[in-house]
Structure 1
Amino acid sequence: MTTQQNQFVISITSRDRVGIVYEVATALSELRGDIADVRQSVLCGYFTMILLVTFPPEVTPRAVERKLSELDANSETAIAATVTSVHNAAVAAPGVVPAHSYVLTAIGRDRIGFVAAVAGFCADHAINILDLSTTVKDGSYVMILLVDLSGCASIQQVRADLARFAAATEFSLVLQHHDIFRATNEIA
């Protein structure tokens, strides 16, 4: 007999400082939360973390929100938290990406609308963005996207449309299967 568990996606944002991961993880463990998956990053001095956490059935989203509010009240920096119930969330094994995963790199002149243009191309072609990273250097904007093309009818059509999109936007765009990207960019 299996016991029903509550699973939540929790997002945390705060000005970065030492100890935030410890404080959040401790607060969740005090509610008997089992952290299944985490993504954490610091951007321009701001800390962000998204977690998938499983709790016993008596722990409600409101109870988690209250616990994180206590953490915020006692913290030297404000901590914003959002708790969302999820059902049957699949946890991927570390380093495992879907079979139809590709890496799309986009490079061009830094300008307003760069991310929107690339994301719009993806949306128009049923390409799901799984991960996204950007940086600006010397007036150039660089985007690296991990994308899932399983919803696309034809990879050949995507490549043809991507070439037209590159010409229209003056972006340098490269689409590689994740396995090829990894093999050619991994340090041995």
Structure 2
Amino acid sequence: MNEYAVTVIGHDRPGIIADVAEILARLGLNLTDSTMTRLRGHFAMTLVCAGPPTGAEVEAALEPLGADRTLLITVRSVVEEPAHESAGTPHVITVHGADRLGIVATLARTVAEAGGNITDLTTRLSGSLYVIIAEVDVTDPDRLNEALRTAARRLDVEVSMRPADADLL
């Protein structure tokens, strides 16, 4: 079984997800993990899929979608990794405040130095208000919370952290 990471980036239009998913399904590839979003009129998707075709076959099948140069599509083989057990408990961090350079960099460094791992991050700029929502795995929530409060004071932003709701699968 081959495993691939497929990325699709470009101008948004209706049907991109359907086009990619149908091609991969026809090839016998199962989508095992994915994230898809729209960023200021641009579409961005990363997915991991597994199945029998070669990387060259996957690239050839997806190539027509990028022919008009509005989409950049990449296919990369990935090695199967052992199941990753979280090194901590999942939490959600929310940051909002005036837009300024370095908010994401400061947040990411603060989480890393407190022993946390960012597992998902979304940012939005709405006028002059900047909002971050980050999912993190953290071993010492009190330590991270204190570090975040210190960073928030330096950046003059509001920050909150709460335990994440468990995924129901």
Q: Which TM-score band (shorter chain)? A: 0.7 to 0.9
Q: Does 1:47 align with 2:43?
A: yes
Q: How far 1:77 moved relative to its partner?
A: 5.4
Aligned to 1:186: none
Query: How many residues were matched structurally?
Result: 166
Aligned to 1:6: 2
Aligned to 1:114: 103
Q: Distance in 1 between matches of 2:83 and 2:27?
A: 21
Q: How far 1:138 moved relative to its partner?
A: 4.0
Aligned-residue identity in percent: 30
- Aligned-CA RMSD value: 2.6
Decide which structure has greater strand share.
Answer: 2
Q: How far 1:87 moved relative to its partner?
A: 2.9
Q: Distance in 2 between matches of 1:67 and 1:136?
A: 36
Aligned to 1:125: 114
Q: Deviations over 1:29-69 (max 9, x none)?
A: 2322122232211111111111121111xx22232222222
Q: Does 1:161 align with 2:150?
A: no
Q: Does 1:88 align with 2:77?
A: no
Q: Does 1:171 align with 2:142?
A: no
Gaps of 5+ in 2: none
Q: How far 1:89 moved relative to its partner?
A: 5.2
Gaps of 5+ in 1: 183-188
Contact 1:11 1:48 in 2 (8 A): yes
Q: 2:135 aligns with which of 121, 146, 152?
A: 146
Structure (1 or 2) with the larger CA radius of gyration: 1
Paired AA for residue 62 in structure 1: A
